[in-house]
Structure 1
């Protein structure tokens, strides 16, 4: 008998008719209306809240942009007045000195103001990321400005590009605000904010760009002048006519801000300068700062009023949207309450018949076969008729459920289903459930793999690699073993990306990952930290030598050419690798042990790159002790320099032809309290690792020139003889310091010596340090200071470059002077001949034997210094040397012994 015929025989109304009429239809209608309406209202609330956040973020960025613009003027003024070679000197005239001092004060005050604005940006603001990026960019620009490593034009570009970038971000935020689906009133108020923000951008940028164009020269001046003319023109265009604002109060404030005496004065002056460039001098432009500041403060207040008005409009819109949501929810609840009341009445009738059926079902569930009463709706009576037939399949269903509960998926699926429709449904459901569980387990495995692995290379990502490293540390600590970590940083990968594209770069990363898997030991873990950085975690490390060998194998594997697929660039790409090695020690397994080991390996790879790339460096106790000792030495040297612990020794330089005393080389010496004499190559190297070498160089300049001045006064040269000179070594870092020329001028001025009395010695390597080094050397020679290239022959200077090298003297390194090798002797002869050809003098270092002096005299060498004449002596002992005139080898100072 079919189900339909059983229903007709039993009679009664179907239960779905009762439920559909009283519950289902109202619930469906109410749910549809409620869902649609509430969704619309919530969308409105979200739109208004987002609009307020974006607008506030835009206002925060506008304030930050104005602060950055405020730093530009004093920063450029200080740079321009400090470095006359980088600006139009006519822009300042005689006011350069006072302007420089004033600029120093204003740099500090404007930076403090900018830092306050940065710190005021909340971390939750939409502008927080931009603020952090601005902080990083500002730090770079300030550092370049303070250290003088960037020209005035470069500083101007950095600040102007930062200001324009902030304007672009601000415009994008405000554009998103206008597109947030606001009401007409709110949209108009937000539009006012956008217009006023645009006006403030052009206004605050007009004076700084005009000043920048005035102080620069050449192509930089033309380029910046275009920016200034655009800002001035855009500002004047906006303030012409009726203010394009919707609020009357804002229009009045607009007019007052743009028409005040200060604003008119500023507008007229900048307009005149844009029409006739150079009509205003640099100081005259700087005196417009007060007018610009007053005008910008008025515009800032106008922007604040516009933001407040927009927030008020949006807040009113938000309250209205919230009211509509509340009303909609109340109405929906009332409809649902009515439907539920009707359902309860109908449910009471249904419950009586269902209760009887439930009692029978309970007994059947207990294994009792009983007569099932048949009453109530048709479905209830049909259920009672089929309940007895269903009892037979309950046992099988229970067995399947028990199998599922135990996780026995194979046992849960039977070949034959339970009898009846219920058996078929249960059988199908169990099959679907088993498949769903299996698919879920498979998906969970795939998701877990994706979360822990790099999508490009398939290697464990940074988080997974750190976890694996931490686990390896715990395992090794229990076994008493060590864990090694290799940090691999690719060399030249950026060039591949830049020249061949990112597709080629991706192919290189995949190839490197595959080669790393091939090279490492079984059980080692290879991971990608991101970018072009990889790590290898090696457990049970026997010695560091094995890790170094592994690192070298990695370098050899990585440097092989990588074939590129068609369309990904040229046929092949090449990269290299630098490897840093760190080994766990003391069984450390703390929460940060993995991070510490990773940082040590990173430090080692940094040293590998610093020493030439393509090599393996180990972070061991020597490196740790070296770093600690270097830091301690640097601190002690800084303190010793301040306490006067350093002194100068002087070694004479004599003429090879007749033994005349030509001058002295000043050499720094340090007797460290509690330690004793510190070798110069040790403490000078520590100083060169930081800016301390510049302080040391200034001190040597002052002391050496002052001492030579005293000697000249005490022991004047005989009539017709040349006065002795003093040579001072200048480090590469000091040579590119913007203050070098001032340091030399100050030392000469304090001592009263002529520039020709000072010789500055530099090494060959500084000649390739950049254009600033060559520029300083040319400026020093133009002043009359002599330049000598020290240790010539040990660096990379070509003899063919001597004609263009800004130097007066070459000093041949002692390794060539003292060598008996015929090749070295021929090289010295070549250097002497080439130097004389190009008009340079030659000084031979390290002359210790009379035979060497005879040989140098035969070559025509100009001068020499060394123990044959005198070792470096304190100033008091130099006084015992012969007076300027002659210092023959046979007249060496008695203290040269030892």
Structure 2
């Protein structure tokens, strides 16, 4: 190989390198990490800002509360001083003027000190809320000037101070709400609420002394401060605020509050200021007033301490919240930075490491792709080394292929290299194994899904039902495969059970089924299981099985125990049982196949005389295989259009004119010719194929009749289509018929659906569907009447319109059958049914039907099944069937032989 050829792989290095893809692949999530970290950091910063704002709001709330408290204290001394400077007020109260005048310097000094305290509180508030402090200071200056010059009454002065107090309390509540808003922790919000309760109490308490003194000054006035009503109203507000303090959340504040309420000053004031303790008209002495003022001073000091404690606690918690939020924000920022840095570093290292090793591997692969079987290195991450080793193995295989090709090219066919295995067959085996595993898993999942929608046991006998029987059989087969033991299945089909139902009633039949189930269970070992498939069918699962003879012996015991008479519902009845025996002989058989083998064996037991056991053998296996092959051929034939519909005329017995046709399916199977219906219809009826076949025949027959009608050749002619029992019980059958009529544009009354009497009697669902079909307007006919167990008396209750007498009665020469046919015709006419006689094959039968006034006839004498074009010509031809009333028997025989 030339040097140019060796450099060719390096020339073709086009496109974006792998490390760039890896960097982008890791960079996208890394960008997401960065964005997410930024969001988290921003959230933590917002949380920290909120905590700091809450801390600031708590501080402002405390300052506002201090300003409110000092303003209220100032108001008390301002009001008291105004009263002392009013001789008329002192005289109205009844106090001696000299004593009051002696106390004025003390009151004036206290007023001055409280004004200073108020000014200091407003100065402190002005540092944080200058607008609020300025507004309050302006209004307070106006109130003070009014008090000094006494330009307005005592009542208005009190209201002015109350207005200032209310304004400050409103501001305090707003700042407290700001402190507790957002993400403030519950503990901090509770502490702020405690402080607000203390502040509310302090405000209500500060107003009791002015209200009390005002009431004393003017016992008759109706204003708020001068009336006893105002005093009592204020007392109610005070007691309500005091009661709310019982709900404090902080134990320390609660304890301080209890100590506070126990002080002499608080208790003395509560007793003195309680309206209930002071009768109307009572006037305190100067000493009493002075004592109350001193007690109020003490209570005010204690109240301030209590309020300070509550606000300090709220402030401390707010500071802790702010510190914790700041710490979390800082830690989040640090960790986010570390995480982003590590992620970026890891992404770069990963891209570099994987990119370099994969680049080297790609270069080797490019050389191999150009026919250079070079050595492949195995350096880099584990996955890269694995790929390199696999590529090296592939290179080794290619070398063996190259050596074998050289040996073949050189004609060295005896070279030992040609005997070495190549990877192709191994890959095919592996692929086939994988496909088999997938198919097995899907089959199991489908089985589990089906079992999930079914009840596990039969409600009548409390035995496992069909679905559970399949599951139990599958489990037993799996255990048998692991242990190497055989599994046996006995299919038990009762003999004569339908006669019990018909003669003794279904309740009796149910009791018989329960007794049979009990007897079957009684003959089994502890690990064996009996299941009811439905109707009068049971299966017995036996594991392990030592020998096939053991199963036969068990079957004979079951036959003997079931055959013993049974007393049920007062009737003594007897039923038998036929049993099919199947044994798992290889690992390939599954539960459904084993059940099918046992079912096939029981059919042979029925055919050989009933009341016996048959074992599934090679002959039955071949029969079962042929059955399955025929099912597949039927399905393929439907898809390939191999089926045909022939039409047999149904004629009026009196006039021999065509009254209708019966659609009969035919199969023109390639390589086999026309397959008799008896060969494929039972196979289709044993599977869901019969429903597809019925739908196809329905569509073809209705379209054909519609075509004849469009050509003007089928006025009033009906079309009869057979419905299988399986299709009749299908929930889609009504839709299928309605769709066929609609697609063909055929009136419903021209379609006749033929069903067997067994389906009508045995399956309530079939009767319901027939009623729904008749509601569409179609007619229903009982096919092959007389071969089942339906009595003539039941005809009145069946949802049918036509009775078709079976050919075995029409063509029978046995004594009494003529009278039986006559009885069927008369009974059907009595119940308003139309009668069709099947299998008419000679003129003698035709004459008897005329004598018995039968409505219609069908058979080879009246017309064989014909293809559509020939049947259409029959519609146009005149009636050719002879209709003698009293035929000559010799002529009849001669005519019959000519047919």
TM over 0.5: no
TM-score range, shorter chain: 0.3 to 0.5
TM-score by length of 2: 0.38
TM-score by length of 1: 0.38
**Larger Rg over CA atoms:** 2
